[in-house]
Amino acid sequence: MKGSILVVEDDDTFRSFLQTILQDDGHEVQTAADGVKGLRLLRQGNFDLVVSDLKMPGKSGLELFRETRNDPGPPQFIFLTAFGRVDEAVAAMKEGAVDFLSKPLDDPDTLLALVNRAIETQARARDYLSLKESEAAGLPPEDLIFAGAAMRPVRQLVHDVAGAMANVLIIGESGTGKELVARTLHLLSPRAKGGFVALNCAAVPENLLESELFGHEKGAFTGAIQARQGKFELARGGTIFLDEIGEMPLPLQAKLLRVVQERVFERVGGSKEIKADVRVIAATNRNLRDEVSQRRFREDLYYRLNVFPLRLPPLRERIDAIPVLADYFLQRFSAQLGKKLKGIDAQAVNAMKSYGWPGNIRELQNALERAVILARDVITVGLLPDEMLGKPEQDSLDSREMLKLTEKELIGKAIKKQGGNRRLAAEELGISRRTLQYKLKEYGLLD
């Protein structure tokens, strides 16, 4: 496995020697003649590893190491030290450095073995952290996110573009999973060790959106009692996801264009240029071409964002995915409620396949959550929402209140049937005793 390496060494000949060894082994290498330049390069790019002299004029290797520890996804360090300074190198290892080698190098293969092991270890750690981020974000497996024949080409495109820095525009109706696809793209990219920062442009008031994006300095406006980082700073080294980009007001579109083009911005009320080391993924449920023709969206920004478009098909074009997605939601909500359900009957599956799903996967998720709450053994067609079955919607009571009333009635009947025995009642209802106890308390059914 090859990586991106920064070599920091004040001896020109030895620095060139190290660069040649590492490049011949297939690594991407940049060099710096001192710690000051090394820090500048670290701030500008993403490196897997730094191979640095420990003692240098100006800024030492140890100082360089310490200044990067609070960075998002900091690189690993291997130190090179002259004989007699081993104690300093050992101290650096106690602070988190990978290892050290004495100068001059006895065998270049020793350096290569150490470098390759460090990069492989970091790659494994990055994969583990990506998995944890995926789990924390509640991401289902890729096979579910891209379930259905219509999503196969989308999945391939996501894998094709993941390794590039190209801006991506995800187009799809509400509820089609645009953010899930964006998160997957991020986790597959070299930027996975950085953060994934999402902002829904439609959910933030227009007068606060600029500050949310770019941050602000203290006193920039009424209420700005201290300086604050914006989403572009928080996403440094990672990915920013701008959902509902079509809702962004025109004046702010001009400022976003500058960031996308020049990769720099200023905080609100500030004058210092800040480097935007981020990948931009935007999403919209609007037709941005129409928005451009209506002069509601800047044409130049549209073309900057639309470098690599991804269209997500609606659920009605992914009928073959419905059984797989429905079963996933069944398992997920059953586990949350402590229920043991046997599955979904064929009639219910056919009803779901015949429905138009205007709310897409989000609507399917809501329908399955409701059905799991009501189900006692198997999810039947009668547990699906009325609109899916062609029935007029009930408007006498809020749907949530109807769910509660139905659930309360079922629990009450089970308790009565089992003579007050809660263990038997829980078994009949297909839920755990703990869940039953919670529900009894919620509905005031405790003696």
State which H helix or E strand residue 244 sits in. none
User: With contact defined as beta carbons under 8 Å apart, do 64 and 8 qualify?
Assistant: yes
Please tell me the predicted confidence (pLDDT) of residue 132. Answer: 47
- Does position 242 have pLDDT exceeding 90, yes or no? yes
- Please report, as a single letter, which amino acid is at residue 47: F
Please give the residue that has the higher pLDDT: either 393 or 100. 100
Q: Assign residue 244 a region: left if phi > 0, alpha if psi is -120 to 50, beta otherwise?
A: left
- Count of CB atoms within 10 A of residue 53's CB? 24
> Phi and psi dihedrals of 328, rounded to 5?
-60, -45
Percent of the chain with pLDDT over 90: 45
E strand or H helix that includes residue 4:
strand 4-8
CA distance 47 to 208: 34
pLDDT of res. 397: 45
Model confidence over 88-123: pLDDT tens digits? Answer: 777 778 777 888 888 888 788 888 988 988 887 766
Query: 219-227 contacts: CB < 8 A, separation 24 or more?
Result: 219/269, 220/267, 220/268, 220/269, 220/270, 221/268, 221/269, 224/268, 224/269, 227/267
Residue 136 has pLDDT above 70, yes or no: no
**Lowest mean per-residue pLDDT among 82-86, 254-258, 269-273, 297-301:** 82-86
Ordered structural domains, the chain, with CATH:
4-130 (3.40.50.2300), 137-313 (3.40.50.300), 317-442 (1.10.8.60)
Strand 274-275 relative to strand 264-265: parallel, antiparallel, unpaired? antiparallel
Q: For residues 301, 303, 305 and 309, what is the CA-based torsion angle, rounded to 10 degrees?
A: 150
Instruction: Say whether pLDDT at 133 is over 60.
Output: no
Query: How high is the mean pLDDT of the chain?
Result: 85
| Residue 400, token pair as written in the block | 């949530």
Give me the mean pLDDT over the 261-273 stretch.
87
- The alpha carbon of residue 155 and the mean position of all alpha carbons in its chain are separated, in whole angstroms, by 16
The model's pLDDT over 56-70, given as tens digits with 9 standing for 90+, comes to 888 888 888 888 876
Whole-number pLDDT of residue 135: 45
* Residue 396 CA to its chain's centroid (Å): 41
Instruction: Output the pLDDT for position 216.
Output: 84
